[in-house]
Amino acid sequence: MDENTQQQEDNNSTIHLLTPPSFDIEDHVVSYDGHQVKEKIMALLGAFAVTGLLVMTLFVDMTPNSSKQQRAEFTAAAPLIMESTPKPPAVQNPYNGLSLKARAVVVYDVHRGEVLYGLHEDKQLPLASLTKLMTALLAVESFGVSDNVAVAPSTLETEGDSGLFANETWNAHDLVSFTMVTSSNDGADALAAAVGALWTSTPVLQSGEDEVDLFVQRMNTRAAELGLLQTAYTNPTGLDEEVTGGLGSAEDMAKLMTYIWEYEPDAIQHTNELKRNFVSGDEFLHTAENTNEYVNDISGLIGSKTGYTDMAGGNLAVIYDAGMDHPVAVVVLGSTLEGRFEDVKTLIDATYDYVETGWYEYDMEVAGATPQYK
C-alpha cells in the first residue's frame, strides 16, 4: 500500500528491476567532529604560519641591512598574522552524532550552492513522489499562468483517486499545485499527457500513453540539462511499476528544489500550506490536504514534497528560509513513513544550531572540502 492508500500517494509495488543500493535500515548514528578535512588543513596552515614566522624572524634578524624599526614592525605584525587564522568554535559541531533513520540526507546552502551536511548525499536511490518535482517543473515551464488543460480520461486509470473527473478543465498552474500538495498520481499523469500533447499537436482530450512517454523522455533530458547526474525517470508519478518510477540522489533533489525556487516557484506554490481549496474550470470544488502534515511546524517553510513506496521508504524534500533571506534545502531519502519528518526536523534543528554556534561562519572562512559521511 502506498502513502495515498495510507495517504493516497505512491504505489508500494515490490518489483525490483532497477535495484537501489543496499543499505542497513537501522538508525544511522553519524559521527562527525567538525569539517575534518578543513580542520586538518587549517592545522597545517597554522603550523606553517608559526614556522614561517620563526624563519622570517631569523631572516630579519640576520639581514645586515635590517633596521631596528623593520624588526619592530615585523614583531608587531606577527600576532596579527596568527590571529587571522580561523579557529573552530569551542562547542561541538551540532551535526556531530545525529541519529537518523534515512539512508541518505543532505543540507544544502541555496545561495552558496554548497553542501553543509551530507550522508550518502550522492547515492542513487528510489525517489517515489519526489519524482513529481520534475513533473511540476516541466508543467509550469510549458504552460502560462492563464492556460487551461483538460484531464485526459486515460490518466484516471493511474493508481490513487484524488477526485479528478474525466475531461475536467483546470487552470494548468492550479492543477500543478493541487497535484503537488496532495501528491496526486492522476494529476501528475494528466499534466504529463497535456504537456506531451503540446509536442505532438494532439488535442489534449485525446492524450494518452504516447504523450506521457514523450513527457518522460523530456523529464530525463531536463534532468541532464540541470546537471542532475544521478537522476533518471520512468514515469511522471514516481510509482513503482515494472521498474521504479524514478531514481536520484539527495543532492540532486536539493539542487532541483533550488532551481525551482529560483526560476519556477509556481511548481511548489502552496506546498507550504496544510490545506487549500481549488475550483476547476468546470466549477468543481477540490479540497487539497497536504501529505506533509507538519508543514506548519517548519518556520519559514517555502516548499515541500513527500514521497513513499515500499521500495523507496520515506522521502521528504523541503526548502525553507533559515533567516535573513537565507534559504536552505533539506532532503532525506530512504527513511520511514514517519521517520522522514523526524529526520528533517533533526536536520533543521541542527542547522539552526550550526549557524548560531559559529560553525557556519568558521566553515565558510575555512572553505575547504565538504566532508563525507559513511
C-alpha cell recorded at residue 237: 508519478
Has this prediction a pTM greater than 0.75?
Answer: yes
Q: Which pLDDT value is given to residue 31? A: 40
Q: Which pLDDT value is given to residue 30? A: 45
Residues 6+ apart with CB under 8 A from 4: 10, 159, 160, 162, 183, 185, 291
Interval 234-287: pLDDT, tens: 999 999 988 899 999 999 999 999 999 999 999 999 999 999 999 999 999 999
Instruction: Give the chain's mean pLDDT.
Output: 83
C-alpha cell recorded at residue 213: 512517454
- Position 74 confidence tier, pLDDT thresholds 50, 70, 90: low
- Which residue, 42, 31, 91, 29, is CA-closest to 363? 42
DSSP 342: H
CATH no. of 28-33+95-366: 3.40.710.10
Task: Evaluate whether 132 touches 154 at the Cβ level (below 8 Å).
Answer: no
C-alpha cell recorded at residue 232: 533518471
